[in-house]
Amino acid sequence: ELFIIPSSSMQPTLQIGDRILVKKTDNYQPQQGDLVVFFAPEAAKKNDLFVQENKEVIYIKRIIGQPRQTVQVRQGVIYLDGQPLSEDYAVTPPNYEVTSLVLSEQMYWVLGDNRNESFDSHIWGSLPAKNIIGQAYKIIFPPQRVRSLL
């Protein structure tokens, strides 16, 4: 399915106006680092000033934490199960803190690559697996940006 990137929250990986393809499969198990497209969870819809009541909103973010993992953000570093996350896709470190939390079954922690300009799990919490539509796998437009996202 085709989606258009509406904001800068995933820069530099995705730019405003990029057209991406998303693979939708019932048995998809998101992995750390995957780019996923999902329906905004209720907590996000309550805090998003641009969401109209009863309207479905779709976001794209990167999977950071998976079910049963411990996530923490401290002094600009993201920790998974106590180990610093090595990231080459985020340009600036997060300027926020997240106290240590354990993700429940079927819950994911997702962040935008533009760490400090993204409306994501650091604001609204965990993402339920049932909200995930699929994995973004390719930029198909504009022509100079065509590439795989896998």
Per-residue pLDDT tens for 66-75? 999 999 999 9
Measured over the CA atoms of residue 143, residue 5, residue 123 and residue 83, the dihedral's sign is negative
Using the predicted structure, report yes or no on whether residue 47 has a pLDDT greater than 70. no
Cα–Cα separations (whole angstroms), residue 46 to 17, 115, 133, 144, 145: 26, 21, 20, 37, 34
Residues identified as active-site: 9, 61
CATH of domain 2-68+104-148: 2.10.109.10
Check: pTM over 0.85? Answer yes or no. yes
Q: 43, exposed or middle or buried, with CB in 10 Å at 0-12, 13-18, 19+?
A: middle
pLDDT of residue 49: 60
Q: What is the mean pLDDT of the chain?
A: 92
Mean pLDDT across 117-146: 96
